[in-house]
């Protein structure tokens, strides 16, 4: 089934360095009409910017509160639904303290009030997420 993951090129960073994370979706060839993402970078990082990639056509909602981002994206009504794998957004973050930053999606299988991929008929197709760890030195 469909997956949501965070990708980055380092497992360790310095307190003074900005870090960038890619939010990646893989619908495993199912069509999605939209998605909701709730992503927590822990209290060790502060989210500075959100850069949507345009993979899904419309950015309809973004809320950033220090270490937590909530965003939704939809396909345009006159465009086909999305299926496949791709980068939907990049997050720019600044470490704020030394330690282990747990990067995690708010996800419970079967829940529609957390991260989800919506089919055009409203079914939640998201079945798994890949959380990560970043060491800040």
A 10 A CB-CB count for 35 gives 26
What's the pLDDT at 45? 96
pLDDT in tens, the chain (137 residues): 799 999 988 889 999 999 999 999 999 989 999 999 999 999 999 999 999 998 887 767 899 998 999 999 988 777 778 999 999 999 999 999 999 999 999 999 988 899 999 998 889 999 999 999 999 99
What's the pLDDT at 44? 96
What residue ranges define each of the domains in the chain, with the CATH number in brackets? 2-107 (2.60.40.680)
What's the pLDDT at 59? 64
Put the strands of the sheet holding 2-7 in their side by side order: 45-52, 85-95, 19-26, 2-7, 126-130
Confidence (pTM): 0.92
Q: How far is CA 61 from CA 72, 114, 135, in A?
A: 5, 14, 30
């Amino acid at each position: 089934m469909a997956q949501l993951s965070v990708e980055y090129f380092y497992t360790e960073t310095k307190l003074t360095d900005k870090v960038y994370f890619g939010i990646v979706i893989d619908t495993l060839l199912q069509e999605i009409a939209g998605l909701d993402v709730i992503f927590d970078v822990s209290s060790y990082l502060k989210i500075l910017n959100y850069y949507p990639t345009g993979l899904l056509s419309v950015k309809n909602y973004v809320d950033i509160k220090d270490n937590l981002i909530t965003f939704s994206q939809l396909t345009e009504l006159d465009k086909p639904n999305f299926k496949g794998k791709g980068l939907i957004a990049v997050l720019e973050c600044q470490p704020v303290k030394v330690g282990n930053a747990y990067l995690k999606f708010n996800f419970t299988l079967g829940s529609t009030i957390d991260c989800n991929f919506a089919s055009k008929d409203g079914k939640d197709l998201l079945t798994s997420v890949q959380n990560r760890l970043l060491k800040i030195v």
